[in-house]
Amino acid sequence: MLGLIMTDTHYIGGSAVAGTSGRQQDVYNPATGAVIGSVPLASIDEVNQAVASAKAALAGWAATPPAKRAQVMFNFRDLLKSHHTEIATAISLQHGKTLDDAKGEVARGMEVVEFACGIPHLLKGDYSAQVAGNVDSYSQRQPVGVVAGITPFNFPAMVPMWMFPMALACGNTFILKPSERDPAAPLLLARLLTEAGLPDGCLNVVNGDKEAVDTLLDHPDVGAISFVGSTAIGKYIYGRGCNNGKRVQALCGAKNHMVIMPDADMDQAVDAAMGAAYGSAGERCMAISAVLAVGDDTADRFVAQLAPKVRALKIGQYDEPGVEMGPVITRESQKRVEDYISQGEADGAEVVVDGRGLSLQGYEDGYFVGGTLIDRVTPDMSVYRDEIFGPVLSVLRPKTYEDARQLVIDHEYGNGTAIFTRDGDAARDFAANVNIGMVGVNVPIPVPVAYHSFGGWKASMFGDHAVHGMEGVRFYTKLKTVTARWPSGIKEGAVFNFHSGSDTK
């Protein structure tokens, strides 16, 4: 099966390279708990080899005309389309998400590739003629150099494709350090890029753990780091990378709220919450994990309609007919999620639908947690404060819209939020005044399309540039401004002061 191909390798210099560190980590099928492969954990020398390969390829790739770099992206897009199901199957096998969910992940990554195909237009600079006598000024966007991405397990194809297509199209070379839990899809993407015509060494993939990450953060030839993952690790990467003089963007944890106003279309809100809370077993940084139902009547109606749908979730392995939700990624994740549910119950919340202890026939060793709905949660409870990263939805009952908005504002995370209402005034006020990076109005997961940019606020992001869209272009390029004079018979003495163009002959 394609999901197992090249799992036990790195990808350096345009080809698969066996690991030599002597350290391996098992790769599991989360639905069965069975070991289905292993992945090498790179040594410092192996990471250095990948950086050297990227550095050697940089000058030639950076000098390649943007239109030719775009053609590689066009070719890559075509290969992604023809291998769509194979990539999705590799994701589902090692991550556990449903096949439809994995196909959607690949499709969202492809949107960024399509945006990168327009790089000749996106790299256009500004030009001002005659800013002074016979003086013109213009700007250029030039590549940063060798850059790296550190990506999470929950989107092993999409998140890397948020990064390397933009970086490569801008003329950089790239080193990807994907999650060691589901390494097959990133390795497959690298192979397809080589097939698309990307020169050897322009994209390298090194599997590894903290040793590989620290080597990238400290390496003097790496100019920028992109990261998606937990807030604790994001803070570490941002601090260490910046201390080493690197440009860093670190997209981190989240606790995303959905505000439901009394006038909301409840059927729409319930359906939206189902997909946003339980899709991909809640292992999304944009998952809705807290519903703020304004007023007891709104909360009662919401819980009454949602609870039977949660109980009816079809849970199983990704390839079972009609399956809607798979397992969480590891046994440790399963235990952590169940512990949060237990703590919420101990703190006084009402567990309306309990996903603990779920055992599926034939999958007794899988890492399954059932869909969980917890009502009457209060802001001091850990099930509300912390990012659980599992299929757990907490319901809070603020009395007014102002109370709900303040809860969103006060939370430490600021990734995404949504409001469901028919009231344009409430929606406009909410979108304008919450301190959140991405806001949905009657949209539960407000992930921007590829030509806009993705990024949170507060503890959800460190760095000045979001990913993909024009923010991605800005992050992966350095601005250079050129002021040029070509004399044409004008003689002028030395100038000893700054002056504006209007003062110049």
56 closest CA partner among 167, 173, 163, 150: 173
Q: How far apart are CA 388 and CA 392, in angstroms?
A: 8
CA dihedral 49, 52, 57, 58 (to 10 degrees): 140
- Between CA 122 and CA 124, with CA 61 as vertex, the angle to 5 degrees is 20
**Nearest Cα to Cα of residue 336 among 283, 297, 295:** 283
Token pair of 401 as six digits: 């819209």
Question: By the 8 A CB rule, do 381 and 370 touch?
Answer: no
The dihedral over CA atoms of 8, 11, 13, 16, expressed in degrees to the nearest 10, equals 40
State the DSSP code for 318: T
User: What is the separation of C-alpha 325 from the centre of its chain, rounded to a whole number of angstroms?
Assistant: 20
- Inter-axis angle of helices 231-243 and 210-218, nearest 10: 30
Nearest residue to 178 (alpha-carbon basis) of 202, 201, 200, 154: 154
Catalytic residue among 170, 202, 252, 285: 285
The edge-to-edge listing of strands for the beta sheet with 256-260 is 350-353, 372-375, 392-396, 288-293, 256-260, 416-420, 438-441
- DSSP string over 48-97: HHHHHHHHHHHHHHHTS-HHHHHHHHHHHHHHHHHTHHHHHHHHHHHH--
Distance CA 190, CA 76 (A): 10
Q: Which residue has the tokens 């990261």?
A: 227
Mention every residue, 6+ apart, whose C-beta is less than 8 A from residue 327. Answer: 30, 31, 96, 281, 334, 366, 367, 368, 369
Do residues 201 and 56 touch, judged by C-beta distance below 8 A?
Answer: yes
The DSSP element (H or E) to which 420 belongs, if any, is: strand 416-420
Distance from the Cα of residue 314 to its chain's centroid: 27
Can 252 be counted among the known catalytic residues? no
Report how far residue 3's alpha carbon sits from residue 402's, in angstroms, rounded to the nearest whole number: 49
Which residues in 256-273 are b (16+ Cβ under 10 Å) and which e?
bbbbbbbebebeebbebb
The DSSP bridge partners found for residue 414 are 457
Q: Which residues are catalytic?
A: 285
